[in-house]
Amino acid sequence: MSEASLTWHRLPKRVLLLRIVDILKSFAIPIVILFVLNNDWETTFGIILRVGVLFFIGFDLIQKFFGWRNFRYALDEKTMYVIEGNWMKQEKSLPLYKIQSVHSNSPFFYRLLGVAELTFDTNANSDDASFKLAGVFPSEAKRLEDVLDQSRRRRLEVAAEPSETDEPVTDEPAAIEKPKGVRLYTLSTREILIASLTSLSVFAIFPVASTIITYIDDFISIDGTVDQIGDWVISASIIAIGVLVLAILLLSVAIGMVINFLKYGNFLLERRGDRIRVEKGLLNRSAKEIPYEKIQAIRIKETFIRRWFNIIGVELVAAGTQEELKDESSTILPFVKRDKAMAVLNEHFNQFAWADTLHRLPKKSLGIKLMRISWFGVIVTGIVLYFFRDFAWWLLLLWSLIIGGRVLSYYTTRYARNGAFIQLRTGAFNVRSFVTDKPRIEQIHVTQSWLQRRFGLCNVTLSTRGGLLSIESIEDIPKHEADAMLAWFSRYTVEQDTKRPG
C-alpha cells in the first residue's frame, strides 16, 4: 500500500516534555552532585566535567527531538506501518495477525499529561518484531486496541466459517462487537495491608540505606557523620538501640504499605473474551492482557511468612511473552487467600486440573539431601574459622538454616500425575506449585548423579513453551516414578491430548 493512501499519525507534542523529563531523570544524580552539592567551576577538571555533562544532556535533547519529529504510524485492515529514527528514518511494517496482545501503561507523569504508553507484543524473540507507542491520547489508545481486537476476532470468525459459502463477499468489513469484561477478582484494602505486613521487604531499608550512603560517600566524604553515629551506638543503652531499630522497622513498614497501595491499588482481574486482563496501580496505572491460548501452565508461590496466613500468589506461564513484560504480565493474583485464589482458578482456568492427593518423597530422599555437601557452608565456615574465629558461634545459625532448609524441602516437596496433567510442589522456606498438561510440555529431562544411583533416585526437569521461566524441576524422586513420567510423556495420544479446553 502506498504511503499517500494511509492516514499517518504523530505522537502529540507533549511527548517532548516526557522525553525531557526522562533525560533529567537519567542525569539527576550527576546534576545534583555537580551543580548543587559541589558546584566547583574553579578547577580545570571541574569545568571539563560539568561542560561534558551539559554537552551530553544537550545532545540527548536534540536526539529526542528528531526522534519525535520523524516518528509516524498508520494502520490499514491488515498491517501496522511505522516510520522512526533519530537521524536516519527507518520504515517497518507489522502484520496485525502477529500482534498477540497490547499492554497499556500510564505512569504518574503520563497521566498528568493525559497520555498513555502502548506496547504491542508479537510473542517473538526479535527486538524489531515488537514496539511501543509512548505517549498517545487515551482515545487513540482505545481506537488502536479496538482495531486490533476486531482484526483478531474477524480472523477467528473467518477460520470458523466453511470454505465454501453462497453468501456474497463484500469489501466492507463488518463491525464486531467487543465482548464485555467479566470481573474475576479485585484486591481489597485489607488484603493489601496484610500483604505489606507479611512482606520481607520491610527489612529492605537496611541494604538500600547502605547502598545510598556508599554511593554518596564516593563524591562527598561522610566519614565523620558515620563515626559519630557509630560512637553513639557504642555508648547508647540497649533500650535506646532497640527503640531506634523498632522505629526504623515501623518506618520501613509504612513505606512498604505506601508502595504496595501505589502499585496494587484499584487492582482488577477480568476476562475479556479469550483474554485475561490485569489492571493495577494508583499513580502508575497499567493494563496488560494474556491470550488464553498462550497459557502454558499455572504457578502458585508461597513465601515463608505468608504461608502462616494462608496467602498465596498466582502466576501464569505464557508462551512467548516479551522478556521485559514477562514477570509483570504473568502475575494475576499477587497475594490472595488460598481458598479465594483456588476458587478463581477452578472456575475460570478449568483447562488445568489440580490433583487432590500429592505423593511424598521416600525417606531415603531425606537421607541423600542431608548427605550432600554444602559448598557454600564449607567455604563460609573456613573463612570464619581462619579470619573471624571470635564469631565462630554464628556458624551454628548458618548450619541450622542449611540443615533446616533441606529438611523442609523434603517435607514440602510433592508430585502427582492426574490424567493428562502433572503437578509439582517444590521449595523449602519459599514453596511454589506448578501444574500443566501433556500437550503443553516441550521436554522432560531425567538426570541421575552417582550418589542418586546408589539410592535409586532421580531429578526430573520439565519445560513448556513459556521461555526460561517455564522450567520446573523436582529432585530426589524414585527412579521408577521418573521412568513412569517419561513413559507417560512419550505415549502421546493425538486424539485426546491435543484437545485443549479453554
Beta bridge partner(s), residue 337: 311
Q: Are residues 201 and 125 in the same domain?
A: no
Q: Are residues 369 and 442 in the same domain?
A: yes
Would you say residue 89 has pLDDT above 60? yes
Q: Are residues 225 and 135 in the same domain?
A: no
Query: In which domain, by residue range, is 247 found?
Result: 189-264
Report how far residue 64's alpha carbon sits from residue 135's, in angstroms, rounded to the nearest whole number.
Answer: 13
Q: What is the pLDDT of residue 250?
A: 80
**pLDDT confidence band for 410 (50 / 70 / 90):** very high
Would you say residue 326 has pLDDT above 50? no
Structural domain includes residue 372: yes
Last residue of a domain, one of 264, 293, 317: 264
Q: What is the pLDDT of residue 165?
A: 46
Structural domain includes residue 271: no
Angle, vertex CA 341, rays to CA 340 and CA 342, nearest 5? 95
Q: Are residues 155 and 222 in the same domain?
A: no
Structural domain includes residue 270: no
CATH of the domain at 470: 2.30.29.30
Report how far residue 425's alpha carbon sits from residue 358's, in angstroms, rounded to the nearest whole number.
Answer: 9
Structural domain includes residue 180: no
In the block, residue with C-alpha cell 524441602: 409
Indicate the number of domains in the chain.
Answer: 3
Would you say residue 161 has pLDDT above 90? no
Average confidence score pLDDT of the chain: 78
Q: Are residues 420 and 463 in the same domain?
A: yes
Structural domain includes residue 47: yes
Structural domain includes residue 414: yes
Angle, vertex CA 446, rays to CA 445 and CA 452, nearest 5? 155
Structural domain includes residue 124: yes
Would you say residue 26 has pLDDT above 60? yes
Q: Are residues 463 and 400 in the same domain?
A: yes
Q: Are residues 391 and 430 in the same domain?
A: yes
Q: Are residues 230 and 157 in the same domain?
A: no
Those residues with Cβ within 8 angstroms of residue 161's Cβ, 6 or more apart along the chain or in another chain: none
Q: Tell me the three-class secondary structure of 333-392, residue by residue.
A: EEEEEHHHHHHHHHHHCCCCCCCCCCEECCHHHHHHHHHCCCHHHHHHHHHHHHHCHHHC
Would you say residue 222 has pLDDT above 60? no
Q: Are residues 233 and 362 in the same domain?
A: no
Angle, vertex CA 386, rays to CA 384 and CA 387, nearest 5? 70
The 8-class DSSP code of residue 129 comes to G
Q: Are residues 232 and 107 in the same domain?
A: no
Report how far residue 92's alpha carbon sits from residue 80's, in angstroms, rounded to the nearest whole number.
Answer: 9
Q: Are residues 155 and 105 in the same domain?
A: yes
Q: pLDDT tens, 257-284?
A: 888 888 888 898 988 777 888 888 888 8
Q: Dihedrals φ, ψ of 426, to 5°?
A: -135, 165
Structural domain includes residue 319: no
- Mean pLDDT for the stretch of residues 416-445: 89
Q: Are residues 388 and 496 in the same domain?
A: yes
Q: What is the pLDDT of residue 208?
A: 59
**pLDDT confidence band for 353 (50 / 70 / 90):** confident
